[in-house]
Amino acid sequence: MKKEFRVIADLLPRNIRVLDVGCGDGSLMSHLIKEKNIEVRGLEIVEENVKKCIYKGLSVIEGNAETELHQFPTKSFDFVILSQTLQAFYNPEKVLKDLLRIGKSVIISIPNFGYWKVRTSLLIFGKMPVTKTLPNSWYNTPNLHMCTIKDFFDFCIEKKININKVVGVNEETTSEIKKSNLEIKNLFSKVGIFLLK
């Protein structure tokens, strides 16, 4: 399982209700049920993934998070998770607003455009970065709104969204990100995981 999922699971208490937005084939959902006895629902746009979840007995709704989050009542989940998809929405701000409405807490992970490899690609080679976390080329990337950990940090402050915890993830380590180490973590983290209230 992805290291990112382990970090997310660690952030969650046991026996709660979770909505996994963009749940993929349900690996995170299965993990949360098994390890933390969490009641989890998924929303997924890719038909193949929806079926994989159904075969596993996971509760999943086929649908588009951009347009179909309205179906979930306010504060109907303890946590809502959105893993590495915020940047792919036409209107990430609206989606985030919906997530914060549905969940008492929200966990969002973002691929960090401030990661040093990304920066060097653009700075040294003058080309749009293609990395493991950002595997697509400029012409076929689903990512419309790339941002850095620092960008998202500032965004939350500007929009008065309560940041509870931020974790930076790269190959070897995970570490907590605070205002004091933001510059350096923004350079060395591949993925940023935000716990918002």
Partner 1 sequence: MPSIAGLFFYMSEKIKKLNVSKPLVLDCKKTVKDFPLAYETYGSLNKNKDNAILIFHALTGDQFVSGTNPITKKDGWWVTAVGPGKAIDTNKYFVICANVIGGCMGSWGPKEIDKNTNEAYGLNFPVITIKDMVKSQETLLDHLGIDKLLCAAGGSMGGMQLLQFCATFPNKTFSAVPIACSTNHSAQNIALNELARQAIMADPVWDNGKYLKKNIQPKNGLAVARMVGHISYLSEKGMQEKFGRKLQEKADYEFSFDADFQVESYLRHQGFAFVERFDANSILYITRAMDYFDLSRQFKGGLVEAFKNQKTKFLIISFSSDWLYTTKENKDTVIALNSAGADVSFAEIKTDKGHDSFLVNEPEFLKTLKGFIDSMHIKFKNEKK
Q: Which residues of 56-66 are buried (b: 16+ CB within 10 A; e: fewer)?
A: eebebebeebb
Contact characters 75-94, partner 1, x per CB under 8 A? -x------------------
* Residue number, 73 or 126, with CB nearest to partner 1: 73
Select 32 or 50, whichever has its Cβ closest to partner 1: 50
Nearest to 148 by CA among 159, 140, 137, 156: 156
Among residues 1 and 54, whose Cβ is nearest to partner 1?
Answer: 54
Assess 71 for contact with partner 1 (CB under 8 A).
yes
Strands (E), 54-176: 59-62, 77-83, 103-111, 163-169, 174-176
Cβ-proximal residues to 17 (8 Å cutoff; 6+ apart), any chain? 38, 39, 40, 41, 76, 77, 78, 79
* 142 in contact with partner 1 (CB under 8 A): no
Which residue from 63, 57, 55, 52 is spatially nearest to 21, judged by alpha carbons? 63
Q: Pick from 3, 62, 101, 145: which binds partner 1 (CB under 8 A)? A: 62
DSSP 125: S
Indicate the residue among 66 and 68 with the shorter CB distance to partner 1. Answer: 68
Which residues 1-60 are close enough to bind partner 1 by CB under 8 A?
41, 47, 50-51, 53-60
Least separation in angstroms between CB 42 and partner 1:
9
Residues lying near partner 1 in the complex (CB under 8 A): 41, 47, 50-51, 53-63, 68, 71-73, 76
